[in-house]
Structure 1
Amino acid sequence: MNRVSYYGVHRGSQRDCPPGTRRVGHFIQKLYNNRITFSSAPSAPMDITTIQEIIREIDGATNILLTAHHKLDPDSTGGILALYLILKKLGKKPVALCYEPVPKNLEFLPHITAIEHDKKLMQDFIITLFNPESDVNEIKYSTTAEGYINIIITPKKGSYSEQDVSFKGMTNKFDLIIVVDSGDKKNMGRLYEENKELFEKTTVINIDHHASNDYFGDINLVDTKVSSASELVYYIIEHMDKGLIDEDVATYLLLGIIADTGSFQHANTTPDSMKVAAELVRRGARQQDIIKNLYKTKKFSTLKLWGKALARLSVDEKARVLWSSLTFAELSQMQAKPEDTKGVIDELMSSAPDVDFIILFTEIAPKTVSVSIRTKSAEVNGVQIAKQFGGGGHVQACGFTKEDVALEELSEEVIAAVQKYQQERLGGPAQTSTQHNPPLGAEERIARRLENDLFR
């Protein structure tokens, strides 16, 4: 392998594993309109051994479970839907399942209802009764007050004994599980917690691009150098059969790439991701539908939420960190959802000057706080902060959620951790100064950027 990131097939103990919107959108469209072509379609920038192993597993499976981290976003949703349609075309029986609902701004996607939210993964417990000298006349059951179930079998002739009964235990309804865009099993939330035995007994394929991924799969396609999980899914499909990518599949994959690169503005945008995006547009991806629903359609409640967050901006100039917070009461008052806050940190990321860290604290339920951390440069490692609080993600985009904690208390702890990190990184005395307004000129620049984005 000649890449920094690890990817490959691993079976056994995971411990053995090696640990801008508009302008760029027009560029992608121009590549298609002017029929600018590359010497060949973009290919996976990695050893294809893992991809070939994934394809072999898919070929040998029929019933396939598709899932992701429990809070679906554009990348995980796009990757799941693309795989779902491809597997249907291949004659498989996929089930796409995530217990939390799809975000409202993704409801424009075709086949979005294919992702189920309340399906229980019931498994059958088989009791075998065998006696060649006795035929069954009747089977019935009864329950007792203590909760026992009595199964009553009446033979036509002869009788049954305890020696005639055997148990096969739980049957598995899935041949394969594919997990997209999840750093670990716990990130799948209730789906994993309620079906641990299923995940233990079934081959799991782990497709992800997060640096914090713990290689939980039996097969791990994990590459931190790609833009998104959707880009990895593209490389898998490309090696299956390029003809499988129709307009819908192309739209799903482009959705994930656009969202995770911030419409090609983030540092994780690579030549390969640009080439893949152009190829997907060539194959019919509806790029303008994606841009409209991700960036140009905002609820009034979202705009009011942004106003609250902007009014509460705080900055530590010496530690080069900007942060804000939103309370659960404010979300409830504005009938907003936690995902409505994503635009806040994205806008601050592109607008806030002279800072290294941008952090948003959101109380998503009483005394439950979600923390989103962004950094302006790959040299500033946000994951080091997130991991101190049990979180993870990318170097420049990460976070965590803490329960049973006060919003103000947690924000003070996190900012203190950032100040310590910056003091060690930059040198000089420990940072303690906090200014509860952005530095001179910053607020005006942020407001102007928001005005341009909202009313263009």
Structure 2
Amino acid sequence: MNDLIREIENADSIAITGHINPDGDCIGSTLGMYNYITSNYPDKRVQVYLQEFPDVFMFLNGASTVKHEADDETYDLFMSLDCGDMDRFTPFVRYYETAKRTLCIDHHVSNKGFGDVCYVESDACSAAEAIFKLLDEKKINQQCAECLYTGIVHDTGVFKHSNTTRESMTIAGILIEKGARPSFVIDETFYKKTLTQNKLLGYALLNMKQFADGKITHTLLTKEDFDRFGASKMDTDGIVDQLRLTSGTEVAFFMYQAGEDNYKISLRANDIVNVSEIACSHGGGGHVKAAGCNMSGDPEKIVAEIVADIEKQLG
């Protein structure tokens, strides 16, 4: 019995959360853990807390039970999944502070470790993969398998990113054998887009700019742009990945206005640049090839600063 299973068995109530602006791995990991616990330990009280996420993930079992706002509940065990540090779950930090026991499972290289029990497997392609390795494979049901498969699919970019390994493919195969539906998951959460999402993507690509002789590709969306299309931050999925695919691009970064003078920045690299270093230097985090941060100030100055950081590594 590993420490994760021991902590689950010793707790009567469990809170699970992931990082702010939850992505496919965060959503799949938290709901995968939720389904594992509720199916194998039905007497335990389990609640997932996440910020709002796109409706395309609502087919995952348990998604409709997720709470998007903190409440006054307290829990025996608090689980942080797919969070590089405690700042990544600030909306729900009260559960960490009031829980009897705390646990972290993550795969971010920037994670320095926190919680009473902490698993950080930076070689894992996703938090979902790291979680799979800690669970009893025989006790993973179809609902849990589909959630974890979703997490792996999203953090590997449908098995295209450099973090895709033989082991991650093997685990994905096991999850398919347990009932995960690959075509359905990929189509529903990756390729299908609403009219609003397609319009926003088209506008973002129409206004993209390049620097460093085409090695850096960038675009920006303002509050006015979102208002123009009746869109929200949840309609931005896939924009930075499309920028990265532009011929000649080494690094792509996408910015959108998150507040009056605050901007969310997503960075993706192809071969040369470590974007985690750049994100960490601005209070963010992530992986070598995929990272993000928030910055405040004049957007033109922010763009110039990020471009300069990238150019230092390009040489």
Q: TM-score range by the shorter chain?
A: over 0.9
Identify the residue that residue 237 of structure 1 maps to in structure 2: 135
Aligned residue for 2:31? Answer: 81
Correspondence for 1:94? 46
Of 255, 261, 264, which residue of structure 1 is paired with 2:156?
261
Task: Give the equivalent residue in structure 2 for 1:321.
Answer: 216
Match of 1:208 in 2: 106
Question: Which of residues 195, 198, 207 in structure 1 aligns to 2:98?
Answer: 198
- Within-5 A mapping of 1:83-162: 83-88=33-38, 89-91=40-42, 92-98=44-50, 100-122=51-73
Which amino acid is 2:314 matched to?
A: Q
Report SS of the residue matched to 2:258: strand
> AA paired with 1:260?
D
Per-residue CA deviations over 1:205-246 (Å, capped at 9, x if unaligned) read 1111111112112211111111111111111223xxx33222
Given candidates 79, 83, 92, the residue that maps to 1:178 is: 79
After superposition, what is the alpha-carbon deviation per residue over 1:377-406, rounded to whole angstroms, capped at 9, x for unaligned? 2x4211121122111100100010124x22
When structure 1 is superposed on structure 2, of 316-325 and 216-225 the one drifting more is 316-325
Q: Report the 3-state secondary structure (helix = DSSP H, G, I; strand = E; otherwise coil) of the residue aligned with 1:342.
A: coil
Q: CA separation in 2, counterparts of 1:187 and 1:120? A: 18
Alignment match of 1:393 (pick from 266, 276, 286) = 286
Q: Which runs of 5+ in 2 are unaligned?
A: none
User: Which of 187, 201, 217 is the aligned partner of 1:306?
Assistant: 201
Select the residue among 272, 294, 307 that pairs with 2:167.
Answer: 272
1:72–1:103: 8 Å Cα contact kept in structure 2?
no
Question: Do the aligned residues in 1 keep the contact of 2:156 with 2:164 (CA within 8 Å)?
Answer: yes
- TM-aligned CA deviation for residue 340 of structure 1: 1.9
8 A Cα contact 1:393 1:399, kept in partner: yes
- The secondary structure found in structure 2 opposite 1:309 is helix
Does the CA contact (< 8 Å) of 1:247 and 1:286 recur in 2? no
RMSD, aligned CA: 1.7
Q: Deviations over 1:31-50 (max 9, x none)?
A: xxxxxxxxxxxxxxxxxxxx
Aligned counterpart, 2:300: 408
1:357 to 2:308 alignment = no
- Please tell me whether the aligned partners of residues 218 and 243 of structure 2 are also in contact (alpha carbons under 8 angstroms): no
2:293 corresponds to 1:417: no
User: Residues 94-121 of structure 1: CA distance to partner in whole angstroms, max 9, x if unpaired?
Assistant: 12122x2122221222321121123513
Could you say which residue in structure 2 is the equivalent of 1:53? 3
Map Cα deviations across residues 3-42 of structure 1 (whole Å, 9 max, x no partner).
xxxxxxxxxxxxxxxxxxxxxxxxxxxxxxxxxxxxxxxx
Q: 2:226 aligns with which of 303, 318, 331?
A: 331
Please state whether the residue corresponding to 2:158 is helix, strand or coil: coil
- How far apart in 1 are the matches of 2:26 and 2:262? 24
The answer (yes or no) to whether the contact 1:319–1:418 under 8 Å persists in 2 is: no
Q: How many pairs align?
A: 313
1:196 deviates by: 5.9
Q: Which of 367, 380, 383 is matched with 2:273 structurally?
A: 380
Question: Per the alignment, in what secondary structure is the counterpart of residue 109 of structure 1?
Answer: coil
1:389 & 1:118 partners in 2: Cα distance? 27
Q: Secondary structure at the residue paired with 1:265?
A: coil
1:70 aligned to 2:15? no
Counterpart of 2:289 in structure 1: which amino acid? Q
Does the aligned pair in 1 maintain the 2:243–2:253 contact within 8 Å? no
Q: CA deviation at 1:353?
A: 1.9
Q: Conserved in 2, the CA contact under 8 Å of 1:87 and 1:93?
A: no
SS of 2:176 mapped into structure 1? helix
Q: Which amino acid aligns with 2:161?
A: H
Q: Provide the residue aligned with 1:145 in structure 2.
A: none
Equivalent residue letter for 1:177: F
Secondary structure at the aligned position of 2:231 is classed as: coil
How many angstroms apart in 2 are the aligned matches of 1:190 and 1:109?
A: 23
1:16 corresponds to which residue? Answer: none
The range that moved more, 358-367 or 252-261, is: 358-367
Amino acid at match of 1:227: C
Output the CA distance in 1 between the equivalents of 2:60 and 2:7: 28
After TM superposition, the score normalised by the length of structure 1 is 0.66
Give 1:235's aligned amino acid: K
Shift of residue 318 of structure 1? 4.2
Q: SS where residue 59 of structure 1 aligns? A: helix
| Structure-2 separation of matches of 1:119 and 1:197 | 13
The whole-number CA distance in structure 2 between the counterparts of 1:195 and 1:112 is: 20
Any idea what SS the aligned residue of 1:65 has?
Answer: strand
Q: Distance in 1 between matches of 2:81 and 2:16?
A: 8
Deviation at 1:422, TM superposition (A): 2.1
Q: Which letter does structure 1 place at the counterpart of 2:254?
A: L
Long gaps (5+) in structure 1: 1-50, 123-172, 424-456
Q: 1:177 to 1:107 in 2, by over 3 A?
A: same
